[in-house]
Amino acid sequence: MSDRGYRPPRVLSPLREHLRETFWFAPALTLVCAIVLWFVASEIDKQLIVYLQNEQAYDEIKDLLSIAEDTQTIVVTISSAMMTFIGVVFSISLVAVQMASGQLTPRVVRIFVRSRISKLTLSVFLATFVFSLLVLSSYESETDPRLVTSVPFVQSVLTAVLVGLSLLLFIAYVSSTLRLMQVGPVVDRITRDSFRVLGRMPSGLPQEGPITAETGQFVHEGRAGVLRDVNVARLVRAARQQGVVLRLIPRIGDFVVPGTPVLAVHGGSAPPRRALRYTVSVGVERTLHQDLAFGLRQLSDIALRAVSPAVNDPTTAVQCLDRIVQFLTALVDLPLGAVHHRDREGAVRLVQDVPGWADLVDLGFEEIRRCAVNSPQVTRRLLAGIDDLALLAAPDRQKPLIRHRALLVQAVERTVPDAAEREFALLPDRQGIG
């Protein structure tokens, strides 16, 4: 594998990330579009009125105008019922999100918040409500007794189109929400996002030999928060112009506070601070943009809650272990521990610390192993996953797997007094108990 064709990961724009995690931007933008659409439709209706002053043109489409006149009742109904409908639908949705958060983990709420279908549905619902109110005002403001001037034809047609679109989006929204309430789609979504992070990592071999001695540091001067993203392209460019190597001290996902070092300089004088401006992004919570371990953290949290006495759902824990093993299998032969970002000439300019193989194995298995001793379904699946990984791992990567297997066997032998039950609980099975 080589670094040829490698592109640095796209920068996580704080504004873009904020807009993806908020519910106000898309509806507000859609409301503006609905108002603009109404103005355009009003102008078209005015031009249509002029055109229909011709009696022959009026006779050709008078049936359509009669239908448009009948839609006034529909518009009145829509304008009065849409807000009630929106309130009921999204109140139920908030209850569903709360239930999913309690049964799985609060970290999965970000999936609901960032759901595009949810934002699109809310936006179209609100746009339909506002547009119908504006169309209703057009009905009431007309005073000409002739039918041709008292019916906003284009506006009526657009109202019907928005109603139809709202119904289709409502069906899609309900389907999407029900899927996100199921364990399988949620853990599959987390796994796919984790693989996207893995795909953005450079695949070349690490630098031969250690980097030069440290010659300086940059401390964090922004707000305290979780390190979510670094601007790799800008850091590599600044290091190349200065002829040095930069090293990111905290890992993605670490909590940093003002005054703590975030970047170390190796091999020369430090770049000017203005060249490193906006290269480190912190936020309130972790994101899967560059965080290789956050997916395993979420899967482990879901499994832990599933095996807790309050929930007692070992099948969910088994589904999470399936995905944990899947992700670790993809990492089993990849170089881990540090990512080396290179410039156009192939020289290493940025060293970024990432979790090593042992760190990721511990994250995936440690807490689940401690809590799953009394659940034979989970212990059997955990043993099968460890055995599968041991078959694929190189000898230098088998130590953490052997450790977890031995500790699990010891814990089961201490906890389960009956020999037959111990034998059953320590039998590897990829389905747990089927």
| pLDDT tens-place string over residues 294-330 | 999 999 999 999 998 888 889 999 999 999 999 999 9
| 156 and 252 co-located in one domain | no
What's residue 409's pLDDT?
A: 93
Query: Is 321 in contact with 54 (CB distance < 8 Å)?
Result: no
Q: Provide the CB-side half-sphere exposure for 59 (13 A, CA).
A: 3
| 107 and 176 co-located in one domain | yes
Q: Is 404 helix (H, G, I), strand (E, B) or coil?
A: helix
| 145 and 217 co-located in one domain | no
Total structural domains in the chain?
A: 2
| 107 and 251 co-located in one domain | no
What's residue 318's pLDDT?
A: 94
Summary count for the chain: helices (H), strands (E): 16, 8
| 279 and 346 co-located in one domain | yes
| 382 and 431 co-located in one domain | yes
| 158 and 223 co-located in one domain | no
Q: What is the mean pLDDT of residues 120-134?
A: 87
Three-state secondary structure of 308-377: CCCCCCHHHHHHHHHHHHHHHHHHCCCCCCEEEEECCCCCEEEEEECCCHHHHHHHHHHHHHHHCCCCHH
Phi, psi of 203 (to 5 degrees): -105, 5
Q: Are strands 348-353 and 245-248 parallel, antiparallel or unpaired?
A: parallel
Is 334 within a domain?
yes
DSSP 295: H
pTM to 2 decimal places: 0.79
Confidence of residue 142 (pLDDT cuts 50, 70, 90): very low
Confidence of residue 2 (pLDDT cuts 50, 70, 90): very low
Query: Is 378 in contact with 317 (CB distance < 8 Å)?
Result: yes
Is 57 within a domain?
yes
What's residue 3's pLDDT?
A: 38
The boundaries of the domain holding residue 161 are 14-181
Q: Which two tokens stand for residue 104?
A: 């799985």
What's residue 173's pLDDT?
A: 87
| 127 and 249 co-located in one domain | no
Is 228 within a domain?
yes
The domain that holds 392 is classified in CATH as 3.90.1170.30
| 192 and 57 co-located in one domain | no
Confidence of residue 65 (pLDDT cuts 50, 70, 90): low
| 175 and 191 co-located in one domain | no
| 274 and 420 co-located in one domain | yes
pLDDT, tens digit, 9 for 90 and up, residues 364-383: 999 999 998 889 999 999 99
Confidence of residue 147 (pLDDT cuts 50, 70, 90): very low
